[in-house]
Amino acid sequence: MDIRNEILEPDAYYHIYNRGINSGKIFNATENYLFFLSKFATYLNPVCDVFAYCLMPNHFHFLIRVKSQEEIRAFVKVQNFDKGSINVPKVQNFDKSDNKEDKKGLHAFDSVVSKQMGKFISSYSQAYNKVTNRHGALLESPFKRKRIDSEEYLKNLIIYIHLNPTDLKQDFETYTFSSYKSFFSNSKTNLKREEVLDVFKDLENFKYSHKHPLKFDFEF
């Protein structure tokens, strides 16, 4: 299956990544990075949990876990309530056990998460284009996603994401627009900090694993 069309299933982990059209910049200033993260929080925090991220000048990486069916269903109901509707179309199919209906349900579920991703990208792109006086698509479409099915892949992907700044000869430990530093802070965060550290056993091993990464074959 084309990774750009892989269905986003409940409770599953995904590497979400994308880059600018023709590898062009998608961030020019600190304000761009911060606005991007704020829009991600607005549109995607309700439908997914974040385990790691890194924003680079012309691309981004997120490691997410899609929320449960129940959480997505609740989100859709709230959205519909805000619009004055009491219907929850398609999402109701999640409760049905028939295979045909299950398939519809998964596609309905995928449409909820993908729609939120589309709103996120559109919102940021429009604002960026306005500020930079540019026109047209900013990011490649559709966004890329790769399902993570093993803890080994998950662990190595977290390291890979955090080490991205080294490609620009920058120190990944001090890079501003990455989740790495958040794991050494006690500040409130939306990151699943404790779950990530559990994957590495503890904070010291988390740090060591980043400083001594193993070779790993990623599927991009």
What percent of the chain is helix, strand and coil (3-state, nearest 5)?
50, 15, 35
Q: Which of 126, 125, 128, 140 is nearest to 18 (CA)?
A: 140
Residue reference for tokens 């995607």:
44
Query: Is the residue at 216 inside a domain?
Result: no
Query: Is the residue at 145 inside a domain?
Result: yes
Lowest mean pLDDT among 103-107, 125-129, 131-135: 103-107
Query: Is the residue at 220 inside a domain?
Result: no
Query: 176 φ, ψ to 5°?
Result: -70, -40
CA distances from 78 to 27, 85, 86, 204 (A): 32, 9, 9, 41
**What pLDDT, on a 0 to 100 scale, did the predictor assign at position 119?**
94
Confidence band, pLDDT 50/70/90 cuts, at residue 218: confident
**What pLDDT, on a 0 to 100 scale, did the predictor assign at position 82?**
60
How many folded domains does the chain comprise? Answer: 1
138-153 mean pLDDT: 93
The domain of 161 spans: 3-211
CATH code at position 159: 3.30.70.1290
Query: Is the residue at 177 inside a domain?
Result: yes
Q: pLDDT by residue (tens digit) across 7-16?
A: 789 999 999 9
**What pLDDT, on a 0 to 100 scale, did the predictor assign at position 86?**
44
Q: pLDDT by residue (tens digit) across 101-126?
A: 344 544 465 688 888 999 999 999 99
Q: pLDDT by residue (tens digit) across 66-86?
A: 999 999 999 988 877 565 554
Residue reference for tokens 């790691």:
52
First to last CA, the chain: 13
